[in-house]
Amino acid sequence: MPTVVALDVSLSMTRPVTIGDNTEEFQRRHLAIHGINTLLDHFTVNCKLEFTSVVLFSYLWEQLVPFTRDVESIKTALTKLEEYNKTCFESVLAGISTLVVEEWGTATSMQVILITDGNMGVGPGSLKETLKKWKSIQAGEVSDEKCPLPFPFHAKLHVMCIANPNDPALSDVIPLYQQLIDLNNKGGEVYVPEGNLSFSSIQAMFQRLADSCYSPYYGLLRCGNLKCNVTLFPPPERYCKQHEFELVQKSICSTLDICGFLDLHDISSPPTLSRHLVLPAAYKADKLHREEKDETEKSKEEEEDSAADEGKVPSFTVLLHGSLKVEGMVAITKVGEDWFGMLYSWADSKKKSSLMLSLFEPGAEAVTWIGDIKNLAPISDFTENPYGEDDNRTPFPVRPLDKRSYAQSCVVWIKAVGLQADMQKVIRHAKKLPDKQQQFYKELNRIRKAALAFGFHELLDAMGAMLERECTMLPGTAHPDAALQLTHAATKLRSEMSTDPAQLIMPLRTNFTTDTDG
């Protein structure tokens, strides 16, 4: 789960802070940098695969460090900060949205951490005025602007306040920060130091964030008598979703039990909630199977020796990964009460592959073509093969004996790209008239019927305008029949008969039409 750290570098972050009896004055941004370093140190120990990017913002924003796992490069960049003018959240939130979509797309879950000093600002760019404007945009009162929240991707938004908890202004600004989190509607929290501003209180605040959102998962992977301590990255989140009649809440267990194995072509590509990298965990790191020891010099030496010998110890995950990869199979795994997933070999390149765990939706029938996972059993348990004596495997999905024939595939416009692809197909045939006349009218009538079925009557007029425009763009060498057919089709799309699904738009009979065209 990549992380974006947005640091406020406005003038208010340069306000001095007196820490105890120390004569040296520190600025609030120094405390913020110390907090970021605390978070990065946590990543170094517990989340080594975490990608992190640092963004600076005041009235404008800039990406200080692109997404990287190099913690030291981030710490070095934070020592060379400059201060700018006032704080503006609108620009940085829009910038974060652009950065993440370009780098990761909209399918990746993110953590966005805003670090500021609790100053809401004044004037049109203040936090209060910005929230008021965003609410007007969401209510439809303002149509010429766009609100950057919620993010187009799943992201938790956290706000870290570098301010004294007894500051009177903080009581007014915390509800506004909470409104930011509520606008995003993906979860998050406002963090405030538990004591007066100091390096220790800021460190404790960032540590609370790390413990809450970046706690690694350690568990036991078990298959019969074989078992291995493993860790999952990113850590699986708690499942909480409102179903038709109940609120379903599930948490992944500390023990992952492999129930059985299926061929890859049987499981196909089932719907999954999330995907996690499975890595073997050292015994000393397993929170569930270790005992606390005193940190003496002797124990440190023993840990160093065990770490040195870790690569020589046989691992069940290595055996499982190699077997699944060679045999082309997946391992159905029980991850919780009435909750299953699958272990498989996944390759990001031709030379490197990893053991992955994909989680299904909770329930025993998450993969519909397999049925109830609890009813699966080896084919050897049956007295006779229910799928035929010559079939040595259980084929999924089970296809009916009768073969259905469909004249053409149905039109599906779930996303804009589907409609765009169908329209481009009509344009391609239109450019090749009259040679592609039959295909042109076939696709035209197919889209017209789909538009009528969906109640999308505006599409008919748009198609007519599109064909008229295409007619004006015909080259001088084009066949005369092309312009006549395009004009005829555009006219029919705008006539009364176009709204009757029982009628078809037929080609125009012209002097250029041959007998074979009819």
- 233-261 pLDDT, tens digit per residue, is 888 888 888 777 778 888 889 899 998 88
Q: What is the DSSP string of 139-183?
A: TTS--SS----S-SS-EEEEEEE-S-TT-TTHHHHHHHHHHHHHH
One-letter amino acid for residue 475 of the chain = P
Q: Give, in degrees to the nearest 5, the angle at Cα 392 between 389 and 397.
A: 100
Tell me what percent of the residues of the chain surpass a pLDDT of 90: 13
Q: What is the C-alpha to C-alpha distance for residues 418 and 345, in angstroms, rounded to an integer?
A: 31
Judge whether residue 89 has pLDDT over 50: yes
pLDDT for position 114: 92
**CATH architecture group of domain 217-381:** Beta Barrel (2.40)
pLDDT in tens, 14-67: 888 877 666 677 888 888 999 999 999 998 888 888 889 999 988 888 889 899
- Give the containing element (helix H, strand E) for 393: none
Higher pLDDT, 256 or 83: 256
pLDDT for position 489: 92
Q: Give, in degrees to the nearest 5, the angle at Cα 335 between 332 and 336.
A: 130
Query: Dihedral angle at the C-alpha atoms of 123, 130, 119, 36, nearest 10 degrees?
Result: -140
Considering the chain, tell me which residue range(s) the CATH 3.40.50.410 domain(s) occupy.
3-213
pLDDT for position 286: 39
One-letter amino acid for residue 186 of the chain = K
Tokens at residue 83, please? 């201060």
Cα–Cα separations (whole angstroms), residue 512 to 240, 338, 506: 65, 68, 16
Q: What pTM does this model have? A: 0.64
321 Cβ neighbours under 8 A, 6+ residues apart: 345, 353, 354, 355
Judge whether residue 392 has pLDDT over 70: no
The CATH class of 3-213 is alpha beta
453 Cβ neighbours under 8 A, 6+ residues apart: 501
pLDDT in tens, 281-296: 864 443 433 343 344 3
Q: What is the C-alpha to C-alpha distance for residues 171 and 167, in angstroms, rounded to an integer?
A: 8
User: Per-residue confidence at 113, pLDDT binned at 50, 70, 90?
Assistant: very high
Q: Strand pairing of 3-8 and 16-17?
A: unpaired
Q: Report residue 487 CA to chain centroid gap.
A: 45
Query: Dihedral angle at the C-alpha atoms of 446, 447, 449, 450, nearest 10 degrees?
Result: 120
